[in-house]
Amino acid sequence: MARDSAKTLTTRTTSGERPQVVVVGGGFGGVAAAQALRSLPVDVTVVDRDNYHGFWPLLYQVATAALGPGDIAHNIRGIFWGQTNVDARMATVTGVDLDSRRVELDTGPPLLYDWLILAAGSVNDSFGVPGVAENGFPLKSLPDAMALRNHLLEHFERAHTDPGLVDAGFLTVVVAGGGPTGVEISGALAELFRVLGRDFPGLDVGRASVVLVEMGDHLLNGFHASSQAEALRTLRSRGVEVRLGTRIAEARPDGVTFDDGSVVPTKTLVWAAGVRANPLADVLGVEQGRSGTVVVADDLSVPGHPEVFVIGDMAGFANAKGPLPMVAPVAQQGARHAATCIRARLDGRSNRPFRYRDKGKMATVGRHSAVAELPLGIRLGGTPGWLSWLGLHLVLLVGARNRAAVLLNWAWNYVTWDRGNRIILRLRGDSPDDG
């Protein structure tokens, strides 16, 4: 199956006659796919624009100084130590020519493939709300989280120097979107403000506020009503102002305007309201569905291109209950299914349709509070929910060092009510000394 041209254009040195599998994205789907190809007689190249795999469910904890960036990221090459049929390429995929089976990169020669697995994830979607793209803080990547952390801490420093800035919203954070990410970061911000109260005894940190805005009439859409009510109750009891049935009409550098005309002065809008498929989906020239996702066949392949699979947030697939959510288990199960399909085809068998097994969902509000909805109708809340949330996230993190670092940070934060990562880390170009 491997073509001669593939041997000249790919960077692999051990390719021989083995089929080439290119996996675009080293996230939840891409890593799971490459791991699932371990025992197949193929050579795999994982391409990612970064050299690390990010554990996005804990990204908000980096933004709120509970964890450091290295705690939730793992070097992609390191993940595949010991898996000899995988190589990694750090490059941004700029396009895919489906007819000539060629992946275009921003650096280096293109990659030719026999099989392609597209798992480039999703990007923030401002839904065209004026000013959000310019003034909002997305939370989709480690640079996003670091930018938000720096910005938050800097605004406390500035308000400490000039307390008049509090009235201008320097200590006010508006969070858009009442899904798990919006709920989790709102609860974490309330906890961070408590810590900052000790850092800035001369500043009235009691005036720092979090406003969580959700256009629906409940938080955590898709969760059971009792979980939604618990999240709402807990957030409000922790000082978060929750505005349901409210839309953001405009984001400006100095505030946010809501659809009822009211304005909240703020310098910080966290946009957790929506995502769409990675723009790579737009350049493939194939049918796209909801949120720009690539419409796939029931085996996750692209119609007309049985050698191309799209998985995770980029894929627009449905099961009997409708479209699948953009969550990590969908990406990981899709990845394993794509690998199974490749194995079947190599063995001369036909593919089976993808079936997603929903193992439940979780969201935490913070200390001693999380909602967890597990199989068999099991629902946990409060401390039991929180402990199950902590345990599951620890288990799912990639790498023993990351698990140990996260556990240590969590234990430290819990015992001391501290946030050890509350440092403003200027990058080159941000510092006043950089000229």
Ligand X SMILES: Cc1cc2nc3c(=O)[nH]c(=O)nc-3n(C[C@H](O)[C@H](O)[C@H](O)COP(=O)(O)OP(=O)(O)OC[C@H]3O[C@@H](n4cnc5c(N)ncnc54)[C@H](O)[C@@H]3O)c2cc1C
CA distances 286 to 99, 237, 308, 331, 342, Å, are 12, 48, 12, 20, 21
Beta carbon of residue 60, minimum distance to ligand X (angstroms, whole number): 6
Among 118-126, 244-252, 340-348, 370-378, the segment contacting ligand X (CB under 6 A): 118-126
The number of CA neighbours under 13 Å toward the Cβ of 98 is 18
CB 29 within 8 A of CB 331: yes
The active-site residue out of 104, 184, 214, 287 is 184
57 binds ligand X (CB under 6 A): yes
Residue nearest to ligand X (CB): 27
189 binds ligand X (CB under 6 A): no
CA distances 236 to 240, 334, 361, Å, are 5, 37, 22
Instruction: Report the alpha-carbon distance of residue 389 to residue 382 in Å, rounded.
Output: 11
Q: How many residues lie near ligand X (CB under 6 A)? A: 34
Q: Is 191 a catalytic residue?
A: no
Instruction: Report the alpha-carbon distance of residue 260 to residue 286 in Å, rounded.
Output: 40
Beta carbon of residue 283, minimum distance to ligand X (angstroms, whole number): 10
Residue 137 token pair: 């803080």
Task: Name residue, tokens 């709102």.
Answer: 186
Site map 127..146 versus ligand X, x via CB under 6 A: ------------xx------
Beta carbon of residue 201, minimum distance to ligand X (angstroms, whole number): 32
Beta carbon of residue 291, minimum distance to ligand X (angstroms, whole number): 12
177 binds ligand X (CB under 6 A): no
93 binds ligand X (CB under 6 A): yes
CB 342 within 8 A of CB 40: yes
74 binds ligand X (CB under 6 A): no
120 binds ligand X (CB under 6 A): yes
Between residue 329 and residue 348, which ones bind ligand X under the rule CB under 6 A? 329, 331
Residue 391 token pair: 């345990």
Q: Going by C-beta distance under 8 Å and a sequence separation of 6 or more, which residues neighbour residue 210?
A: 172, 173, 175, 186, 189, 190, 193, 239, 240, 241
CB 107 within 8 A of CB 262: no
Closer Cβ to ligand X, 331 or 380, answer by number: 331
Q: Going by C-beta distance under 8 Å and a sequence separation of 6 or more, which residues neighbour residue 211?
A: 172, 173, 174, 175, 240, 241, 243, 264, 266
175 binds ligand X (CB under 6 A): no
Between residue 227 and residue 286, which ones bind ligand X under the rule CB under 6 A? 278, 280
Closer Cβ to ligand X, 170 or 271, answer by number: 271
- Selected from 2, 42, 44, 59, the binder of ligand X by CB under 6 A is 59
Question: Which residues form the catalytic set?
Answer: 184
The binding site for ligand X (CB under 6 A) comprises: 24-30, 47-50, 56-57, 59-60, 92-93, 119-121, 139-140, 180-181, 278, 280, 312-314, 326-329, 331
